[in-house]
């Protein structure tokens, strides 16, 4: 049996948040999580600090951790910064790209397509974020990769919080279009496609209106 690692647990929680099974504001008690995953509290503590770093949970001293409750303004900040980071990633990637990497990327998109066909939500979420992280990793820029991991996590949370439908769709088509431009070595078009892609995701969220799902108790009663 595979060992239960910190990353494994963190991913599990991330997916639960992205799938809306864990809602913003929900409390995450250490002992409870330790019981569920069959590990010690020390391990859970590491998981929670990692999740906090990625903006998925918020912890307060002596009060424990809850699933983060992003505001609409924060969501816009995140998309704004993400736009810049992704463009930078592409600029750095252009120099490091070779045929093998391109093949890997296209293969990844193929997997996304397969997951979409079978409607496997969990897989779709993992692969959608994975595509963007893959670009950052191939760019060989550790700092940007770390930022992207953060931004992808936060985007998942935002999507879960502000999207109407249950579908999480960072579409394969737009990913593939992007790859075509990369294959042609056309940075500007690739960046443009990326920006368009992100705007597409952002525009499907209800960021302007009042958010109605999973607010805190006091907000719900006022």
Partner DNA sequence: GTCGACATTATTGTCTACAATAACGGCTTT
Partner DNA sequence: AAAGCCGTTATTGTAGACAATAATGTCGAC
Closest by CA to 171, choosing from 192, 191, 137, 201, is: 201
Q: Give dist(CA 120, CA 76) in Å, integer.
A: 28
Q: Give dist(CA 155, CA 160) in Å, integer.
A: 8
Footprint of a copy of itself (CB under 8 A): 46, 49, 53, 55, 73-74, 77-78, 80-81, 84-85, 88, 92, 141-144, 146-147, 154
- Shortest distance, position 176 Cβ to a copy of itself, whole Å: 27
- Shortest distance, position 218 Cβ to DNA, whole Å: 13
When binding is defined by CB under 7 A, the residue of 19, 30, 123, 204 that contacts DNA is: 30
Closest by CA to 67, choosing from 80, 54, 81, is: 54
What residue has token string 């391990």?
43
Letters for 43-62 (x = contact with DNA by CB under 7 A, - = none) are x-xx------------x-xx
Nearer to a copy of itself, 86 or 112 (CB): 86
- Shortest distance, position 142 Cβ to DNA, whole Å: 18
Instruction: State the Rg of the chain over Cα.
Output: 18
Q: Give dist(CA 54, CA 48) in Å, integer.
A: 10
What residue 55 binds from DNA, a copy of itself, none (CB within 5 to 8 A, per partner kind)?
A: a copy of itself
217 near DNA, rule: CB under 7 A: no
63 SS3 class: coil
- Shortest distance, position 144 Cβ to a copy of itself, whole Å: 6
74 near DNA, rule: CB under 7 A: no
Cα 135 to the center of its chain, rounded Å: 14
H/E element holding 59?
strand 57-60
Quote the Cα angle for 177-168-152, to 5°: 75
- Shortest distance, position 69 Cβ to DNA, whole Å: 16
Question: Which segment (23-31, 116-124, 187-195, 209-217) binds DNA by CB under 7 A?
Answer: 23-31
Residues found near DNA in the complex (CB under 7 A): 5-6, 27-31, 39-43, 45-46, 59, 61-65
């Amino acid at each position: 049996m595979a060992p239960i690692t910190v990353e494994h647990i963190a991913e599990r929680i991330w997916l639960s948040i992205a799938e809306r099974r864990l809602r913003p504001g929900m409390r995450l008690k250490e002992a409870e999580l330790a019981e569920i995953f069959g590990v010690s509290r020390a391990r859970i503590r590491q998981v929670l600090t990692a999740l906090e770093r990625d903006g998925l949970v918020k912890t307060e001293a002596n009060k424990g951790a809850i699933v983060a409750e992003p505001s609409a303004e924060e969501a816009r900040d995140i998309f704004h910064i993400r736009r810049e980071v992704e463009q930078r990633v592409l600029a750095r990637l252009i120099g490091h790209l070779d045929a093998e990497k391109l093949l890997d990327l296209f293969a990844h998109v193929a997997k996304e397509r397969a997951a979409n066909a079978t409607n496997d939500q969990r897989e779709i979420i993992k692969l959608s974020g994975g595509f963007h992280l893959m670009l950052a990793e191939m760019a060989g820029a550790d700092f940007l990769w770390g930022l992207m991991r953060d931004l992808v996590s936060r985007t998942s949370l935002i999507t879960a919080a502000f999207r109407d439908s249950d579908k999480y769709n960072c579409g394969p088509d737009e990913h593939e279009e992007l790859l075509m431009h990369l294959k042609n070595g056309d940075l500007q078009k690739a960046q443009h496609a990326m920006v368009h892609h992100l705007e597409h995701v952002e525009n499907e969220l209800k960021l302007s209106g009042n958010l109605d799902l999973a607010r805190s108790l006091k907000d719900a009663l006022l």
